[in-house]
Structure 1
Amino acid sequence: MLGLCLGLAGTIWAQVPAEQMTLSWTHTIEKIRWAEDYRLTNEGFILEQARVKGSGAGMEIPADAVLKDGSWHYKPHLPILPMLKLGRTPEAGDYQLCVSSTQAGQQCHSMSYWVGEPTTEQPSIELWGCDIPS
């Protein structure tokens, strides 16, 4: 079964059944909420949609974005991403990760639910698609 692996340098810290996921966080400087919706395939992540509550440092809203329910919605045009590498420190706060699969339904938790609190000793994490036991 296709799932989501969380870890670093190929070492798996957690496996979560997932066919789709939403990764969201609050920008550390601008304090603005950001969210990205991905579909997971055997080749990697397809970024299907992104949302941001406003603009700011490094957060330019694309020209084709549409304001809906207080957020700017847009579709990024990126190739399939084989892996996501995320910065993760106590000062920045944690990501929220919502995963869904046909077998496990939908779950939303802070990333620390699966891999523990962010630490200065381990300031990043990687996410990739992997086969997990049924």
Structure 2
Amino acid sequence: MIGLCLGLAGAVWAEVPTPAFTLAWTHTIEKVRWEEDYRVTPEGLLLGEARVKGSGAGMEIPDGAELREGSWHYQRQLPPLQPLRLGRTPEAGDYQLCFNQRCHLMSEWLGPPQATQPALEIWSCELSSPAVAVGQDEG
């Protein structure tokens, strides 16, 4: 089964059995939520729609974005990302992975962000076991 691997430099720290997810975070300066929807494919992570609640420092709204329900919605045409590299520090807070109608802090799988490990990569991978992800019902 294909799913999502979390780790760095190819070392898997955690596996999440989900075919799609939303990556969400709060901008460290502007304090607004940012969300990106991804599909997990054998080629990598395919970015679908993205949403941001406002603009500001380093958060320019892309051309063609539409304001709906208080957020700017837009899509970018990118090749599959394999891996997607994220900065993860205590000062910036934690990312959320949202799937199955629930959001989970990355710390549920990896522990809290640490200054000694300021980066994280996520990528599509063949899961090593049929583990049940946090928030999924067993059975």
TM, length-normalised to structure 2: 0.89
Q: Deviations over 1:23-43 (max 9, x none)?
A: 000111111110000011000
* SS in structure 1 at match of 2:108: helix
Partner of residue 84, structure 1: 84
Mark the CA change 1:107 to 1:32 in structure 2 (over 3 Å): closer, same or farther: closer
Q: For 1:107-122, list aligned pairs within 5 A.
A: 107-122=102-117
Q: How many pairs were matched up? A: 129
Larger strand proportion, structure 1 or 2? 1
Cα shift at 1:3: 0.7
Following the alignment from structure 1 to structure 2, what is the Cα–Cα distance between the partners of residues 44 and 107?
23
List, as ranges, runs of 4+ consecutive aligned residues in structure 1 with deviation greater than 2 Å: 105-108
Partner AA of 2:111 in structure 1:
G
Partner of residue 125, structure 1: 120
Structure 2 unaligned residues grouped into runs of 5+: 131-139
Cα shift at 1:63: 1.8
Cα shift at 1:107: 4.4
Cα shift at 1:64: 0.7
Q: Deviations over 1:83-122 (max 9, x none)?
A: 11000000100011113xxxxx554200100111000000
Q: For 1:11-50, list aligned pairs within 5 A.
A: 11-50=11-50
Q: For 1:68-83, list aligned pairs within 5 A.
A: 68-83=68-83
Partner of residue 102, structure 1: none
Following the alignment from structure 1 to structure 2, what is the Cα–Cα distance between the partners of residues 13 and 106?
24
Identity %, equivalent residues = 64
Mark the CA change 1:39 to 1:28 in structure 2 (over 3 Å): closer, same or farther: same
Partner of residue 136, structure 2: none
1:56 aligns with 2:56: yes
TM, length-normalised to structure 1: 0.92
RMSD of aligned Cα (Å): 1.1
Structure 1 unaligned residues grouped into runs of 5+: 100-104
Following the alignment from structure 2 to structure 1, what is the Cα–Cα distance between the partners of residues 58 and 76?
15
